Amino acid sequence: MNNSLNFDFLVIGSGIAGLSTALHLSQQGKVAIVTKRNIEESNTKYAQGGIACVIDRLNDSYEKHCADTLLAGGNVCDEEIVRKIIKEGPVAIEHLISLGIKFTKSNEMNSRTKSNDFDLGKEGGHTERRVLHAGDITGFEIEKGLVEGCKKNSNIEIFEKYIAIDLLSSKSNNNSNENSIQGAFVLDIDNNKVISFTAGSTIVASGGAGKIYLYTSNPDIACGSGVAMCYRANAQIANMEFFQFHPTILFHPDAKSFLISETVRGEGGTLKKITPDGKFVEFMDEYHKLKSLAPRDIVARAIDNELKKSGDDCVYIDITHRDEEYLKKRFPNIFEKCMEYGINMSKTPIPVVPAAHYSCGGVQTDVNGWTGITGLYVVGEAAHTGFHGANRLASNSLLEASVISKLAAIDISKKVEGFKKIQAKQEVQKWTCGDATNSDELVVISHNWDEIRRFMWDYVGIVRTQKRLERAKTRIRNIRYEINRYYWDFNITSDLIELRNIASVAEIIIDSALQRKESRGLHYNSDYPKTSEKYKNTIIEKNKEF
């Protein structure tokens, strides 16, 4: 294989955002998808709950969905973008269905909501039933359908176990400051080769950053690579202090990152704590009028507070009022997983704890995913469109990714020729570091990774203080100095690439949190417990030192 490959479009990432964008772009030209693991491995694959969309027009409306989104988002979402994405939702659903993705029908569940034959779920923050699902493995089914569609498409070439290192930045030969992106430097992991992928348009769809925290619902791939790469390419990063902690991850010593979907509470499950005499009692009525269906930031802080007060390891979701047959049908994956650990959810409350789940901030883009930089788009969780505001409404993420992927493809079709004219006048960046080599510093990489995840959990977690944030800032600066000065130039490995990205995004989150002198949505600072009357986005730009 040559050390340079050229395509019309380069897509980095293989979740719903990346694969959907690739399918739309394949109508315009040749598309390369690079993904650092197998193509199926993504945050999308593990999404249980569903995809929010106004389907039941008799009981629901775009206005209601917009109102719920704005309220959950701390009333700081971009309202115009919220309306655009929600109104485009039904078309996005039709596209998924056209790929063979099957959502659960009402006759399969004896559903109370029978609109277009879909069984519609209800989750925290939603005032109506509008969540389409495929049992409790919605993300798995969506991912499977999209992967099959991409593999069948002759205009799409898939590169598995290829990890992007940096975006390929270019500037004009006439010393103009106009920056553009013409692809990415990518490490072929199996062959230890760095390859330049060049393209007229590069779409970053690399997903979330949950692995920055010690406890997370995310798979190991979620290292924030898209935000980190775009930051280094001088894109603006917005509102990264708003990191969502899912309230309910299965608590068991042998379980790793297993999510207990919010739909369990949507179907009547209640959050309970255990009293000293062994009784299960509800507690969410002390925190919010919606009780166990309150928005996620409120539920996560409530659980955190209860655990700190009691010293207990976990709280519980009690859905034992539902019979076993119903639970097996509605939550087959969750039921089976709980049974693996000796928990029959029809008879025993499920032990749960909060964990890092979803980044509401990201690379600043417009509603089409464009960053404002020639040739560079960002879609999905790596992007900040203004849709989620200070707190994501449940099941809105798959909706956003599906809608924006189509809008991005349409926008690229209008701009791509202009991009090419600009790029033709520019010199393509060359790879200057040495070849990839195996690192003799694996113990250092492992130690730094663990240290970052632990202090991010302790100091930049659900509840923050200025002193904790300043401690985190001191530690991350030292680690980033090590990465960039001691061994980055010598050992280009996938582990080091991921560590570099985690460290970069961790510092962006810390800097964003330090800037916000208020508590709002997912950002709660005990030193600034009130919400400011004036809201503005937190914008972080590249630090010249790193």
Q: What is the pLDDT of residues 106-156, one digit of tens each?
A: 876 655 444 558 999 988 889 999 999 998 899 999 999 999 999 999 999
**Residue 502: what pLDDT?**
97
- What does the pLDDT look like over 326-371, one tens digit per residue? 999 999 999 999 999 999 999 999 999 999 999 999 999 999 999 9
Contact of 246 with 124, CB cutoff 8 Å: no
**Residue 112: what pLDDT?**
47
Whether residue 267 is predicted with pLDDT greater than 80 in this model: the reply is yes
Average pLDDT of the chain, as a whole number? 91
Contact of 196 with 4, CB cutoff 8 Å: yes
How far, in Å, CA of 31 to CA of 11, rounded? 7
- Our answer to whether residue 453 is catalytic in this structure is no
**Residue 492: what pLDDT?**
77
- What does the pLDDT look like over 458-474, one tens digit per residue? 999 999 999 999 999 99
Check residue 375 and give left, alpha or beta (phi > 0: left; psi -120 to 50: alpha).
left
Whether residue 1 is predicted with pLDDT greater than 50 in this model: the reply is no
- What does the pLDDT look like over 384-436, one tens digit per residue? 999 999 999 989 999 999 999 999 999 999 999 999 898 888 887 777 765 55
User: Coil, strand, or helix at residue 535?
Assistant: coil
Can you give 369-384 as a three-state secondary structure string? CECCCECEEECHHHEE
More confident residue, 104 or 428: 104
Contact of 121 with 263, CB cutoff 8 Å: yes
How far, in Å, CA of 98 to CA of 20, rounded? 12
Cα angle 366-371-377, degrees, rounded to a multiple of 5:
100
Cα angle 381-462-264, degrees, rounded to a multiple of 5:
70
How far, in Å, CA of 386 to CA of 367, rounded? 8
The dihedral through the CA atoms of 315, 320, 322, 325 has a sign that is positive
First to last CA, the chain: 32
Tokens standing for residue 306: 């209860």
In the chain, ranges of CATH 3.50.50.60 domains? 4-157+360-424
Phi, psi angles (nearest 5°) of residue 176? -65, 150
Tell the burial category of 256 from Cβ atoms under 10 Å away from its Cβ (0-12, 13-18, 19+): exposed
How far, in Å, CA of 165 to CA of 18, rounded? 17
Measure CA 242 to chain center: 12
How far, in Å, CA of 372 to CA of 358, rounded? 24
Question: Looking at 130, 265, 296, 475, which residue is catalytic?
Answer: 296
**Residue 491: what pLDDT?**
64
Percent of the chain with pLDDT over 70: 93
- What does the pLDDT look like over 272-318, one tens digit per residue? 999 999 999 999 999 999 999 988 888 999 998 999 899 999 999 99
Whether residue 488 is predicted with pLDDT greater than 70 in this model: the reply is no
**Residue 207: what pLDDT?**
96
- What does the pLDDT look like over 433-458, one tens digit per residue? 655 555 556 677 888 999 999 999 99
Cα angle 91-94-98, degrees, rounded to a multiple of 5:
140
**Residue 174: what pLDDT?**
55
Phi, psi angles (nearest 5°) of residue 345? -65, -15
DSSP state of 473: H
Check residue 240 and give left, alpha or beta (phi > 0: left; psi -120 to 50: alpha).
alpha
In the chain, ranges of CATH 3.90.700.10 domains? 247-355
Domain formed by 4-157+360-424, architecture:
3-Layer(bba) Sandwich (3.50)
DSSP strand pairing (51-52 vs 131-132): antiparallel
**Residue 486: what pLDDT?**
60
* Annotation: CATH topology of 439-530: Methane Monooxygenase Hydroxylase; Chain G, domain 1 (1.20.58)
How far, in Å, CA of 441 to CA of 445, rounded? 6
DSSP state of 105: B
Q: Which candidate, 428, 415, 506, 515, places its Cα nearest to that of 25? A: 415
CATH of the domain spanning 247-355 = 3.90.700.10
Whether residue 173 is predicted with pLDDT greater than 60 in this model: the reply is no
Amino acid identity, residue 387?
F
Whether residue 87 is predicted with pLDDT greater than 90 in this model: the reply is yes
**Residue 526: what pLDDT?**
95
**Residue 177: what pLDDT?**
57
